[in-house]
Structure formats: structure tokens, C-alpha cells
């Protein structure tokens, strides 16, 4: 078992390991966005309400009414996450270059031609 995985039981009682990719507060509650560690047909984003109970995290599924309110917030978080390149060359969470600049504005020493979308010349 990997240390960075959180384990849950699915509807069939099967143990599923998920990685927390983001968390946020909304209307006084904390929520986690989780996904599978590898891309599969069953991959997706899972939303769980997170609570700290005596120093231990507890997760529960949001109710349908709660999800209706959360959906736009979740979409904003996912869009922001997709704007980042996600590659090791840029620890800034995404390269945001000025149009005429050859330098990466994130301050990392990116190599020419890296695959993060930096568009180095």
C-alpha cells in the first residue's frame, strides 16, 4: 500500500485507493477532490466532505443538494488545476510567460524544449 493513498470502500465493498488532488472550504465545510492514482476506465474525480474528528480525518459523501451548490466551485478548481503544466520543470503550478520572453516566469531553470508547454525558443 502506498502512503499517499487514502483508502475507501466502494458500493461492492472493494477497497479503492485515491489520491487527494485538492481541498477547499465552501460554506464553512472542507471538501476534498480525489482521484485514482492511474488513468483507467474507472478514473474520475471524487468529492468528499472532510472533517477533523479528534485529530483524525473523516470523509463523507456530500448530499445531492450540497453537490448542486458545490459543482460550480469544483469546476473552477478543476479549471485552475488544468491551467498548470504539472511538469517537474515548473514548480510555479504552470508557466505564465510573457509573449516575447524566452525565460520562464516561474523562476525555475527550465530546459529548452521541455514538454510543459513553456514554448521556450
Give the C-alpha separation, 4 to 35, whole Å. Answer: 12
Tell me what the pLDDT averaged over the chain comes to: 75
* Whether the Cβ atoms of residue 34 and residue 48 lie closer than 8 Å to each other: yes
45, three cell numbers: 474525480
pLDDT per residue as tens digits for the range 2-44: 567 899 988 899 998 999 988 999 999 999 999 988 877 767 8
Top mean-pLDDT range of 59-63, 75-79, 100-104: 59-63
Give the C-alpha separation, 116 to 119, whole Å. Answer: 8
DSSP E strands: which ranges in the chain? 6-9, 15-26, 29-35, 45-53, 56-60
Amino acid at each position: 500500500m502506498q502512503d499517499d493513498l487514502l483508502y475507501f470502500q466502494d458500493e461492492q465493498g472493494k477497497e479503492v485507493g485515491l489520491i487527494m488532488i485538492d481541498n477547499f472550504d465552501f460554506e464553512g465545510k472542507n471538501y476534498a477532490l480525489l482521484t485514482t492514482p492511474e488513468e483507467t476506465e474507472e478514473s474520475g474525480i471524487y468529492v468528499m466532505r472532510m472533517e477533523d474528528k479528534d485529530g483524525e480525518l473523516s470523509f463523507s459523501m456530500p448530499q445531492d443538494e450540497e453537490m448542486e451548490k458545490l459543482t460550480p466551485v469544483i469546476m473552477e478548481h478543476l479549471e485552475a488545476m488544468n491551467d498548470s503544466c504539472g511538469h517537474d520543470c515548473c514548480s510555479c503550478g504552470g508557466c505564465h510567460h510573457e509573449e516575447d520572453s524566452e525565460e520562464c516566469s516561474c523562476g525555475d531553470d527550465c530546459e529548452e524544449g521541455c514538454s510543459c508547454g513553456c514554448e521556450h525558443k
